[in-house]
Amino acid sequence: MTTLAGATDTLTRDALAVLQPSFLGTEPPDWVLRRLDEGLTGVGLFGRNIESPEQVARLTARLRAVRPEVLVAMDEEGGDVTRLEVRTGSSFPGNLALGAVDDPALTRAVARELGRRLAEVGVNLDWAPSADVNSNPDNPVIGVRSFGAEPALVARHTAAYIEGLQEAGVSACAKHFPGHGDTNVDSHDAMPRIDVPVDVLRERELVPFRAAVAAGTKAVMSAHILLPALRTDLPATVSPAVLTGLLRAPVADGGLGFAGLVITDALEMQAIAATYGIEGGAVRAVAAGADAMCIGARGDEEIVLRTRDALVAAVRSGDLPEERLADAAARVRALAAWSASEAGGAAEGIAPDPAVGQAAARRALRVTGAADYVPPAGPVYVAGFTPVASIAVGRETPWGVGAELERELPGTESAVFDGSAAGAGGDGGGADAASREGLSALTANVLAAAGNRRIVAVVRDVHRHPWMADALDALLDARPDTVVVEMGVPQAPPRGALHIATHGAARVCGRAAAEVVTGKGAGA
């Protein structure tokens, strides 16, 4: 017979097991080590935890000294969203670049090498790939993180990515179920809503997730979005209709038949936290069918303990079935056990492929105007027009072509301009008199700083930012020989004496573009 103390201990350990918290610093704090000993089974690493591969390997080794089967997760998509190379930019192009090449074998090779590097430093769960179909070009949070706007293309590359990553022994996590591509709101800030019929969801959003399940993805991450067509007024993360009735349900019943780990997107995002709070969101998510709760932003012990206690209290009050919490904890432990045993040595059998990322970035370039282009004989002036980055992308990761061109063309200078420089208030428009005056001043500043040097204008999603489009228009009117490098979604028509679409802002994408600007790359 189980004693009350034993039952409480089991319940508390189960509540800890379903949490995936983060922490501050480049060494695991004592509270994390204590909670691992008490049942915590997973942690998430972010840019703030990263100094070097060697340091990450030491960090993960300390975690495993306490709990050998711990799941160490990272939001490492490559491309614009990188944690392992947060301070330098990624060695791999992101999803949109891979989709532009449309060679699933290349996507698989890129993911395999990325997985090998993650495994090498002790990371065994990657919150990637994004399986979202970017059907809305104004999407503020997905964009280049998607393989593209066509469901079949996204599906085949999602499957290839999962296969490559898991060949290296790193669990993949297809996200953001059931699809975050047709939104114009960032769920970090508010609640997105997709108002399309259920047959559209099945023929568009769900296609890549079916492919992910068929490819054997170990995990799926839920999205904080509303989908009224699924007859629920709850966001997917806390909706039984979405997680149990759609994702888990058998294929014969119209579901996806997924039996692996269901992970929530970060519960501190406003789409959940503003309505339910982190603790309330965790209780509702587990009850709906989620197994692992991402609570990443604050990185402190208090939120871990409060969320643990909320789950325990919900079981005791009858609001959360104990069997559901136990099932969620068992799924977490099962993936942790797989990662520690069967997957442990997988990466050791994979030969390093250090050049694959740069090769993929070069293949992803789309160059317009190359036939008449004459590369500069001397230094250039790089004007970067930059939007505010989303929280997912992060604001500390460098991007652009300036650093590469400064190395290749001595005397090159770079400057960054945002919407406030144009009088547009960040990412606002540029229609009023103050904005027009600001744009005029911005253009004058660029022209004065450039002098006689060729101008290279670097933009990112110019179609989404009126101030940026206006600034580019003014610059091209004054200097038609300007080179334009689009490092976001190339939705706007190509402009400039030479136009280079990189399909992402990873470091390797910037290098590939710089090679074309200097005449050393294909397409120049």
One-letter identity of residue 473: D
Q: 394 falls in which pLDDT band (50, 70, 90)? A: low
Active-site residue, 461 included: no
Beta-bridge mates of residue 171: 125
Would you list the domain boundaries of the chain?
18-348, 365-517
Q: 1 falls in which pLDDT band (50, 70, 90)? A: very low
Residue range 293-344, pLDDT digits in tens: 999 767 789 999 999 999 999 999 999 999 999 999 999 999 999 998 865 5
Contact between 518 and 408 under an 8 Å Cβ cutoff? The reply is yes
Contact between 80 and 504 under an 8 Å Cβ cutoff? The reply is yes
Contact between 513 and 364 under an 8 Å Cβ cutoff? The reply is no
Residue with the bigger pLDDT between 439 and 357: it is 357
Active-site residue, 265 included: yes
Neighbouring residues of 401: CB distance < 8 A, sequence distance ≥ 6: 382, 456, 458, 485, 510, 513, 514, 517
Please say if the pLDDT value at position 417 is more than 90.
Answer: no
* Torsional sign, CA 90, 92, 95, 101: positive
Side-chain half-sphere exposure of 108, counting CA atoms within 13 A:
13
Interval 426-453 mean pLDDT = 74
Q: Do domains 18-348 and 365-517 have the same CATH topology?
A: no
b/e per residue 374-389 (b: at least 16 CB within 10 A) = ebbeebbbbbbbbbee
Q: Which of 157, 188, 224, 503 is catalytic?
A: 188
Ordered DSSP codes for 241-310 = HHIIIIIIS-GGGTS----SEEEPSPTTSHHHHHHHHHHHHHHHHHHHT--BEEE-SS--HHHHHHHHHH
What's the rounded Cα separation, in Å, for the pair 241 and 231?
8
Q: Does domain 365-517 have CATH number 3.40.50?
A: yes
In angstroms, the Cα distances linking 211 to 129, 151, 220, 237 are 12, 10, 12, 21
Contact between 49 and 26 under an 8 Å Cβ cutoff? The reply is yes
pLDDT on residue 429: 47
Q: Which of 14, 265, 291, 470 is catalytic?
A: 265
What's the rounded Cα separation, in Å, for the pair 181 and 142?
6
Tell me the CATH number of domain 18-348, given options 3.30.230.10, 2.60.120.10, 3.20.20.300, 3.40.50.970: 3.20.20.300
Q: 7 falls in which pLDDT band (50, 70, 90)? A: very low
Residue range 244-275, pLDDT digits in tens: 999 999 999 999 999 999 999 999 888 788 88
DSSP letter, residue 468: H
Q: How many CB atoms lie within 10 A of CB 54?
A: 9
b/e per residue 116-128 (b: at least 16 CB within 10 A) = bbbbbbbbbbbbb
pLDDT on residue 423: 57
Beta-bridge mates of residue 175: 130
Neighbouring residues of 290: CB distance < 8 A, sequence distance ≥ 6: 222, 237, 243, 262, 263, 264, 328
Please say if the pLDDT value at position 428 is more than 60.
Answer: no
Instruction: Tell me which of 206-220, 341-355, 422-436 is least confident.
Output: 422-436
Q: How many CB atoms lie within 10 A of CB 78?
A: 30
pLDDT on residue 186: 57
- Say if pTM beats, i.e. exceeds, 0.85: yes
Q: Give counts: helices (H), strands (E), the chain.
A: 17, 14
Most confident of 5-9, 110-114, 225-229: 110-114
Q: 347 falls in which pLDDT band (50, 70, 90)? A: confident
In this structure, what is the dihedral angle of CA atoms 213, 215, 216, 218, given to the nearest 10 degrees? -80
What is the bridge-based pairing of β-strands 293-295 and 261-263? unpaired
Q: How many CB atoms lie within 10 A of CB 302?
A: 9
